[in-house]
Amino acid sequence: MPKNEKDFIKNLNVTRSVRTKFAVSDKLIKTSASGNQYLDVTLTDKTGQFDGRIFQDVEEIYNKINVGSVCLVKGRINEFPSGSGRFNMVINSITELDEADYQNEDFVRVSENDVKESLELITTTIDDMDNQDLKNLLNSFFADEEFAEQFSKAPAAIVHHHNYEGGLLDHTIEVLKLCKTTTELFPNLDWELLYTGVLLHDLGKMKTYTYGNGIIGYSSEGNMLDHIYLSCEMVQEKLNSLEIPRELALKILHMILSHHGDVNLGWGSSVDPKTPEALALHYADNLDAKVKKSLNS
Protein backbone atom coordinates (compact mmCIF):
# COMPACT_ATOMS: atom_id res chain seq x y z
CA MET A 1 0.00 0.00 0.00
CA PRO A 2 1.54 3.37 -0.98
CA LYS A 3 2.73 5.55 1.91
CA ASN A 4 0.34 8.37 1.03
CA GLU A 5 -2.75 6.18 0.50
CA LYS A 6 -5.14 6.38 3.45
CA ASP A 7 -8.85 5.72 4.01
CA PHE A 8 -9.91 8.00 6.87
CA ILE A 9 -12.24 7.04 9.71
CA LYS A 10 -14.65 9.90 8.99
CA ASN A 11 -15.46 8.17 5.68
CA LEU A 12 -16.04 4.71 7.16
CA ASN A 13 -19.80 5.03 7.48
CA VAL A 14 -21.05 2.38 5.07
CA THR A 15 -20.80 -1.40 5.09
CA ARG A 16 -17.79 -2.29 2.95
CA SER A 17 -14.38 -3.94 2.92
CA VAL A 18 -11.40 -1.84 3.98
CA ARG A 19 -7.63 -2.08 3.64
CA THR A 20 -5.92 0.92 5.22
CA LYS A 21 -3.68 2.20 8.00
CA PHE A 22 -4.66 3.05 11.57
CA ALA A 23 -2.87 3.92 14.79
CA VAL A 24 -3.62 1.56 17.68
CA SER A 25 -4.53 3.59 20.77
CA ASP A 26 -5.77 0.72 22.94
CA LYS A 27 -6.16 -3.07 22.95
CA LEU A 28 -8.07 -5.32 25.31
CA ILE A 29 -9.02 -9.00 25.36
CA LYS A 30 -12.72 -9.35 26.16
CA THR A 31 -15.25 -12.16 26.45
CA SER A 32 -18.41 -12.24 24.33
CA ALA A 33 -21.89 -13.13 25.60
CA SER A 34 -21.34 -16.63 24.22
CA GLY A 35 -18.18 -17.03 26.30
CA ASN A 36 -15.65 -16.67 23.47
CA GLN A 37 -12.63 -14.40 23.71
CA TYR A 38 -12.07 -11.60 21.21
CA LEU A 39 -9.61 -8.74 20.89
CA ASP A 40 -11.06 -5.23 21.00
CA VAL A 41 -8.74 -2.71 19.34
CA THR A 42 -9.25 1.06 19.37
CA LEU A 43 -8.20 2.39 15.96
CA THR A 44 -7.48 6.07 15.39
CA ASP A 45 -6.41 8.60 12.81
CA LYS A 46 -6.57 12.38 12.66
CA THR A 47 -10.30 12.31 11.84
CA GLY A 48 -11.50 10.18 14.75
CA GLN A 49 -11.49 6.75 16.32
CA PHE A 50 -13.54 3.58 16.25
CA ASP A 51 -13.44 -0.03 17.42
CA GLY A 52 -12.10 -3.04 15.61
CA ARG A 53 -12.67 -6.62 16.74
CA ILE A 54 -10.55 -9.70 16.12
CA PHE A 55 -12.04 -13.14 16.73
CA GLN A 56 -9.19 -15.46 15.69
CA ASP A 57 -5.70 -15.97 17.17
CA VAL A 58 -6.64 -13.48 19.86
CA GLU A 59 -3.71 -13.86 22.26
CA GLU A 60 -1.14 -14.20 19.49
CA ILE A 61 -2.25 -10.97 17.81
CA TYR A 62 -2.56 -9.20 21.17
CA ASN A 63 1.12 -9.90 21.80
CA LYS A 64 2.18 -8.85 18.28
CA ILE A 65 0.63 -5.38 18.08
CA ASN A 66 1.65 -2.51 20.33
CA VAL A 67 -0.34 0.46 21.55
CA GLY A 68 1.06 3.52 19.80
CA SER A 69 1.99 1.65 16.64
CA VAL A 70 0.57 2.24 13.17
CA CYS A 71 -0.79 -0.88 11.48
CA LEU A 72 -2.05 -1.99 8.10
CA VAL A 73 -5.54 -3.28 8.79
CA LYS A 74 -7.78 -5.38 6.56
CA GLY A 75 -11.39 -6.06 7.45
CA ARG A 76 -15.02 -5.17 6.95
CA ILE A 77 -16.97 -2.19 8.21
CA ASN A 78 -20.31 -3.10 9.79
CA GLU A 79 -23.12 -1.08 11.33
CA PHE A 80 -23.51 -2.32 14.91
CA PRO A 81 -26.05 -2.47 16.40
CA SER A 82 -28.06 -2.60 13.19
CA GLY A 83 -29.83 0.70 12.48
CA SER A 84 -27.77 2.60 15.08
CA GLY A 85 -25.71 4.61 12.61
CA ARG A 86 -22.58 3.48 14.46
CA PHE A 87 -19.87 1.55 12.68
CA ASN A 88 -17.01 -0.69 13.72
CA MET A 89 -14.75 -3.17 11.99
CA VAL A 90 -14.34 -6.92 12.03
CA ILE A 91 -10.60 -7.25 11.46
CA ASN A 92 -9.27 -10.07 9.30
CA SER A 93 -5.60 -9.12 9.54
CA ILE A 94 -3.48 -6.46 11.26
CA THR A 95 0.24 -5.87 10.73
CA GLU A 96 2.54 -3.31 12.34
CA LEU A 97 4.24 -0.91 9.93
CA ASP A 98 7.64 0.76 9.96
CA GLU A 99 7.72 4.56 10.18
CA ALA A 100 8.81 4.73 6.55
CA ASP A 101 5.51 3.13 5.51
CA TYR A 102 3.13 5.87 6.67
CA GLN A 103 2.75 9.63 7.02
CA ASN A 104 2.66 10.62 10.68
CA GLU A 105 0.39 13.63 10.04
CA ASP A 106 -2.40 11.22 9.04
CA PHE A 107 -2.70 10.08 12.66
CA VAL A 108 -2.27 13.25 14.71
CA ARG A 109 -5.67 14.68 15.63
CA VAL A 110 -5.60 18.41 16.31
CA SER A 111 -8.21 21.03 17.12
CA GLU A 112 -9.86 22.70 14.16
CA ASN A 113 -10.38 25.90 16.13
CA ASP A 114 -8.23 29.03 16.06
CA VAL A 115 -5.89 28.77 19.05
CA LYS A 116 -5.04 32.47 19.04
CA GLU A 117 -8.72 33.40 19.06
CA SER A 118 -9.44 31.02 21.95
CA LEU A 119 -6.56 32.35 24.05
CA GLU A 120 -7.69 35.92 23.32
CA LEU A 121 -11.15 35.08 24.69
CA ILE A 122 -9.51 33.85 27.89
CA THR A 123 -7.42 37.03 28.14
CA THR A 124 -10.46 39.25 27.52
CA THR A 125 -12.48 37.37 30.12
CA ILE A 126 -9.75 37.92 32.71
CA ASP A 127 -9.30 41.60 31.79
CA ASP A 128 -13.04 42.22 32.23
CA MET A 129 -12.92 41.13 35.87
CA ASP A 130 -12.96 43.64 38.72
CA ASN A 131 -11.81 41.22 41.43
CA GLN A 132 -8.05 41.76 41.52
CA ASP A 133 -7.45 38.57 43.51
CA LEU A 134 -9.06 36.45 40.81
CA LYS A 135 -7.25 38.35 38.06
CA ASN A 136 -3.90 37.82 39.77
CA LEU A 137 -4.54 34.11 40.16
CA LEU A 138 -5.62 33.62 36.56
CA ASN A 139 -2.82 35.76 35.16
CA SER A 140 -0.28 33.75 37.15
CA PHE A 141 -1.19 30.95 34.73
CA PHE A 142 -2.41 32.40 31.46
CA ALA A 143 -0.07 35.41 31.23
CA ASP A 144 2.80 32.92 31.13
CA GLU A 145 3.42 32.28 27.42
CA GLU A 146 5.01 28.87 28.00
CA PHE A 147 2.05 27.76 30.11
CA ALA A 148 -0.46 29.07 27.55
CA GLU A 149 1.29 27.16 24.77
CA GLN A 150 1.26 23.90 26.75
CA PHE A 151 -2.37 24.46 27.75
CA SER A 152 -3.38 25.02 24.13
CA LYS A 153 -1.84 21.72 23.00
CA ALA A 154 -3.00 19.39 25.78
CA PRO A 155 -5.77 16.83 25.20
CA ALA A 156 -8.77 16.69 27.54
CA ALA A 157 -9.14 12.90 27.66
CA ILE A 158 -7.94 9.59 26.27
CA VAL A 159 -11.32 8.34 25.05
CA HIS A 160 -14.36 10.15 26.40
CA HIS A 161 -14.36 13.68 24.95
CA HIS A 162 -12.01 16.23 23.36
CA ASN A 163 -9.36 13.51 23.05
CA TYR A 164 -7.03 15.25 20.63
CA GLU A 165 -4.29 17.88 20.61
CA GLY A 166 -5.89 21.14 21.70
CA GLY A 167 -8.87 19.36 23.23
CA LEU A 168 -8.34 20.90 26.66
CA LEU A 169 -8.46 24.43 25.27
CA ASP A 170 -11.53 23.62 23.17
CA HIS A 171 -13.33 22.10 26.17
CA THR A 172 -12.46 25.04 28.40
CA ILE A 173 -13.71 27.57 25.85
CA GLU A 174 -16.95 25.64 25.28
CA VAL A 175 -17.62 25.42 29.03
CA LEU A 176 -16.81 29.12 29.35
CA LYS A 177 -19.34 29.99 26.63
CA LEU A 178 -21.99 27.81 28.29
CA CYS A 179 -21.37 29.57 31.59
CA LYS A 180 -21.53 33.00 29.97
CA THR A 181 -25.03 32.07 28.77
CA THR A 182 -25.85 30.73 32.24
CA THR A 183 -24.90 34.02 33.90
CA GLU A 184 -27.21 35.88 31.52
CA LEU A 185 -30.08 33.67 32.70
CA PHE A 186 -29.00 33.83 36.35
CA PRO A 187 -27.50 37.31 36.86
CA ASN A 188 -27.14 36.76 40.61
CA LEU A 189 -24.37 34.24 40.03
CA ASP A 190 -20.89 35.51 40.85
CA TRP A 191 -19.72 35.43 37.25
CA GLU A 192 -16.12 36.28 38.05
CA LEU A 193 -15.87 33.36 40.46
CA LEU A 194 -17.65 31.03 38.03
CA TYR A 195 -15.43 31.93 35.08
CA THR A 196 -12.38 31.49 37.30
CA GLY A 197 -13.56 27.98 38.12
CA VAL A 198 -14.10 27.27 34.43
CA LEU A 199 -10.60 28.35 33.45
CA LEU A 200 -8.93 26.40 36.28
CA HIS A 201 -11.05 23.27 36.71
CA ASP A 202 -9.14 21.01 34.30
CA LEU A 203 -5.60 22.40 34.49
CA GLY A 204 -4.43 19.07 35.89
CA LYS A 205 -5.06 17.42 32.55
CA MET A 206 -1.85 19.07 31.37
CA LYS A 207 -0.03 16.69 33.73
CA THR A 208 -2.46 13.77 33.49
CA TYR A 209 -1.83 12.76 29.88
CA THR A 210 1.10 12.08 27.62
CA TYR A 211 0.66 12.85 23.95
CA GLY A 212 2.76 11.96 20.95
CA ASN A 213 2.29 10.63 17.42
CA GLY A 214 -1.46 11.01 17.84
CA ILE A 215 -1.59 8.62 20.81
CA ILE A 216 -2.80 9.83 24.21
CA GLY A 217 -1.77 7.92 27.34
CA TYR A 218 -1.61 8.39 31.09
CA SER A 219 1.46 9.91 32.70
CA SER A 220 2.62 8.36 35.97
CA GLU A 221 1.04 11.32 37.81
CA GLY A 222 -2.21 10.96 35.91
CA ASN A 223 -2.39 7.24 36.54
CA MET A 224 -1.78 7.61 40.28
CA LEU A 225 -3.48 10.91 41.10
CA ASP A 226 -5.94 11.92 38.32
CA HIS A 227 -6.67 15.37 36.98
CA ILE A 228 -8.91 16.74 39.73
CA TYR A 229 -6.22 16.35 42.38
CA LEU A 230 -3.55 17.66 40.01
CA SER A 231 -5.70 20.70 39.16
CA CYS A 232 -6.09 21.52 42.84
CA GLU A 233 -2.38 21.02 43.43
CA MET A 234 -1.47 23.43 40.62
CA VAL A 235 -3.92 26.06 41.89
CA GLN A 236 -2.88 25.63 45.53
CA GLU A 237 0.76 26.24 44.58
CA LYS A 238 -0.25 29.62 43.14
CA LEU A 239 -2.52 30.40 46.08
CA ASN A 240 0.41 29.83 48.44
CA SER A 241 2.30 32.68 46.79
CA LEU A 242 -0.64 35.08 46.47
CA GLU A 243 -2.42 36.99 49.22
CA ILE A 244 -5.91 35.75 48.40
CA PRO A 245 -8.56 35.67 51.16
CA ARG A 246 -9.05 32.17 52.55
CA GLU A 247 -12.81 32.12 51.91
CA LEU A 248 -12.31 33.00 48.25
CA ALA A 249 -9.58 30.38 47.89
CA LEU A 250 -11.90 27.75 49.40
CA LYS A 251 -14.64 28.59 46.89
CA ILE A 252 -12.21 28.20 43.99
CA LEU A 253 -10.83 24.88 45.24
CA HIS A 254 -14.36 23.66 45.96
CA MET A 255 -15.41 24.22 42.35
CA ILE A 256 -12.48 22.15 41.12
CA LEU A 257 -13.04 19.33 43.62
CA SER A 258 -16.79 19.13 42.93
CA HIS A 259 -17.00 19.72 39.17
CA HIS A 260 -17.77 16.06 38.41
CA GLY A 261 -20.96 16.30 40.46
CA ASP A 262 -22.52 14.04 43.07
CA VAL A 263 -19.86 12.02 44.90
CA ASN A 264 -22.19 9.00 44.96
CA LEU A 265 -22.18 8.84 41.15
CA GLY A 266 -18.54 7.80 41.24
CA TRP A 267 -17.36 10.28 38.60
CA GLY A 268 -14.37 11.44 40.66
CA SER A 269 -15.60 14.41 42.68
CA SER A 270 -14.22 14.67 46.20
CA VAL A 271 -17.24 16.62 47.42
CA ASP A 272 -20.75 17.44 46.16
CA PRO A 273 -21.22 20.91 44.59
CA LYS A 274 -22.38 23.17 47.42
CA THR A 275 -22.46 26.64 45.85
CA PRO A 276 -24.46 27.98 42.90
CA GLU A 277 -21.24 28.57 40.97
CA ALA A 278 -20.03 25.02 41.61
CA LEU A 279 -23.35 23.64 40.38
CA ALA A 280 -23.25 25.79 37.25
CA LEU A 281 -19.70 24.65 36.49
CA HIS A 282 -20.58 20.99 36.99
CA TYR A 283 -23.56 21.02 34.66
CA ALA A 284 -21.80 23.06 31.98
CA ASP A 285 -18.79 20.74 32.12
CA ASN A 286 -21.00 17.66 31.95
CA LEU A 287 -23.15 19.04 29.12
CA ASP A 288 -20.14 19.88 26.98
CA ALA A 289 -18.47 16.52 27.56
CA LYS A 290 -21.63 14.49 26.90
CA VAL A 291 -22.68 16.38 23.76
CA LYS A 292 -19.15 16.34 22.33
CA LYS A 293 -18.90 12.59 22.89
CA SER A 294 -22.33 11.98 21.34
CA LEU A 295 -21.53 14.05 18.26
CA ASN A 296 -18.34 12.07 17.70
CA SER A 297 -19.78 8.61 18.36
| Shared domain check, 86 and 23 | yes
Give the H or E element holding residue 278: helix 276-295
Taking 80 as the threshold, does the pLDDT of residue 209 lie above it? yes
Of the residues 77, 104, 131, the one at which a domain ends: 104
Taking 60 as the threshold, does the pLDDT of residue 48 lie above it? yes
| Cis ω for the linkage preceding 81 (within 30 of 0) | yes
How much is the pLDDT for 44? 86
| Shared domain check, 269 and 187 | yes
Query: Of all residues in the chain, what percent carry a pLDDT higher than 90?
Result: 61
How much is the pLDDT for 235? 97
Number of structural domains the chain divides into: 2
Of the residues 70, 104, 138, the one at which a domain ends: 104
pLDDT (average), residues 210-215: 73
Taking 60 as the threshold, does the pLDDT of residue 3 lie above it? no
pLDDT (average), residues 268-272: 82
For the chain, the maximum distance between any two Cα atoms, rounded to a whole number of angstroms, is 64
| Shared domain check, 178 and 73 | no
| Shared domain check, 119 and 100 | no
In this structure, is residue 110 part of a structural domain?
no
Of the residues 104, 123, 154, the one at which a domain ends: 104
Taking 70 as the threshold, does the pLDDT of residue 176 lie above it? yes
How much is the pLDDT for 36? 93
In tens, the pLDDT along 141-158 reads: 999 999 999 999 998 877
Give the H or E element holding residue 247: helix 246-258
How much is the pLDDT for 5? 62
pLDDT (average), residues 170-182: 97
| Shared domain check, 173 and 88 | no
Angstrom distance (rounded) from CA 200 to CA 283: 16
Q: Helix or strand or coil: residue 121?
A: helix
For residue 35, give its domain range: 9-104
Query: Of all residues in the chain, what percent carry a pLDDT higher than 70?
Result: 95
| Shared domain check, 202 and 68 | no
| Shared domain check, 146 and 77 | no
Pairing of strands 215-218, 70-79: unpaired
Higher pLDDT, 78 or 30: 30
| pTM for this predicted structure | 0.76
| Shared domain check, 172 and 287 | yes
Average pLDDT of the chain to the nearest whole number = 90
Dihedrals phi, psi of 60, to nearest 5 degrees: -60, -45
Within 209-245, where are the H helices? 220-225, 227-241
Higher pLDDT, 107 or 145: 145
Taking 90 as the threshold, does the pLDDT of residue 6 lie above it? no
| Distance, CA of 96 to chain centre | 26
CATH of the domain at 51: 2.40.50.140
Confidence bin at 295 (pLDDT 50/70/90): confident
